[in-house]
A and B are shown apart, each in its own frame.
Chain A
Amino acid sequence: MMGNDAANSEGPKSPEKQQEVPAGWKANIIAFACHYCAFAAADLAGVMRLSYPSNVKVVRLPCTGKLDHVYLLRAFERGIDGVFVAG
């Protein structure tokens, strides 16, 4: 299902110019996670020894209510490739 999303976002709607991807580039992703739900889930994933990509760096928030426009913008400002919020 997400595969479809990725395909869609590459369609003509994307405002981004296609540029050549340099060799060795790896997606840099930030996840904002609520301490009590998503962060616990991430912890559980670790305990269950599930493997997931190492591109995702997690920022723990006490609650996703702590999330601020500025956090997201700052991430993009510094050249982060993707941000997701889970909680």
Chain B
Amino acid sequence: MIVGQQKPFDEIWAMVRVHRRLTVFGCNTCVAVCHQGGNKEAEILASLLRMRAVQEGVEMDIAHGGIERQCEHPFFESAHELLEGSEAVLSMACGIGVQFVAEKYASTPVYPALNTTFLGDVKTDWHFTEKCQACGDCILGLTGGVCPVTRCCKRLFNGPCGGSSKGKCELSKELDCAWQLVVDRLEALGKLDDYEKITPIKDWSKDRAGGPRSFKLEGF
């Protein structure tokens, strides 16, 4: 899922304070899991902003709402009226949702309440870790299901660098060396032969280097 983190409150306030009728708009899928941008967080943020507005003597009508996903048209049906009537929208979605709302409501200013941080998993209820870079050319089949593009700080493809020590990365003792994980896993699977296979130079044009990506279903 997509992980995001709420921007500092002061930064959010500075963006929206010029408006008189604001809607705080939650996105209840990915960013709700990390308790940053769901409909509930939207309600809380709206309340905090109202209190800030009152204290600063700013007259501001702050509503809140939310939908399941801000990146797909059908979900917007229930919120259409709310958004149409807003002077500005503070979107609690990831960067995708913010842009989607901005495109959909061309004359309404849209602000991001979150910094979108990474594609990751839910390690525990409160701990999220990055697992995928969407590089467009997956090699997880060769690396025992451990992604070196994401989890190796240097994005190495053919074994660890000299900074790998006791299974940890030289960047931080908290950080596992991705290649240690790859080797451990291949060993457990009895597939250490895969480790000997040289991965050719990666085609980065399938990553962001080729510009923004898109794809279309054929014959749809």
Q: Whose C-beta in chain B lies nearest to the C-beta of A73?
A: B47
Q: Assess whether A1 is interfacial by the CB under 8 Å rule.
A: no
CB <8 Å contact, A76 and B51 = yes
Q: List, sorted by A's number, 16 A–B pairs whose CB atoms are closer than 8 Å.
A: A69-B40, A69-B44, A70-B40, A70-B43, A70-B44, A70-B47, A73-B44, A73-B47, A73-B48, A73-B51, A74-B47, A76-B51, A77-B47, A77-B50, A77-B51, A77-B54
**Chain A residues whose C-beta falls within 8 Å of the C-beta of B50 in the assembled complex:** 77
How many whole Å from A6's CB to the nearest CB in chain B?
A: 23
How many whole Å from B72's CB to the nearest CB in chain A?
A: 27
Q: Which of A25-71 contact B (CB under 8 A)?
A: 69-70
Give the CA-CA distance A76 to B49 in the complex, in Å: 12
Give the CA-CA distance A70 to B51 in the complex, in Å: 13
Q: Is the interface of B mostly helix, strand, loop or mixed?
A: helix
Give the CA-CA distance A74 to B51 in the complex, in Å: 9
**Chain B residues whose C-beta falls within 8 Å of the C-beta of A76 in the assembled complex:** 51
Give the CA-CA distance A73 to B47 in the complex, in Å: 6
Q: Is the interface of A mostly helix, strand, loop or mixed?
A: helix
Interface size on A, residues (CB 8 A): 6
How many whole Å from B167's CB to the nearest CB in chain A?
A: 40
Q: Which of B25-74 contact A (CB under 8 A)?
A: 40, 43-44, 47-48, 50-51, 54
Q: Whose C-beta in chain B lies nearest to the C-beta of A76?
A: B51
Give the CA-CA distance A76 to B47 in the complex, in Å: 9
**Chain A residues whose C-beta falls within 8 Å of the C-beta of B40 in the assembled complex:** 69-70
Q: Whose C-beta in chain B lies nearest to the C-beta of A69?
A: B44
**Chain B residues whose C-beta falls within 8 Å of the C-beta of A69 in the assembled complex:** 40, 44
Q: Whose C-beta in chain A lies nearest to the C-beta of B48?
A: A73
Q: Whose C-beta in chain A lies nearest to the C-beta of B43?
A: A70
How many whole Å from B23's CB to the nearest CB in chain A?
A: 17
How many whole Å from B8's CB to the nearest CB in chain A?
A: 16
Give the CA-CA distance A25 to B40 in the complex, in Å: 34
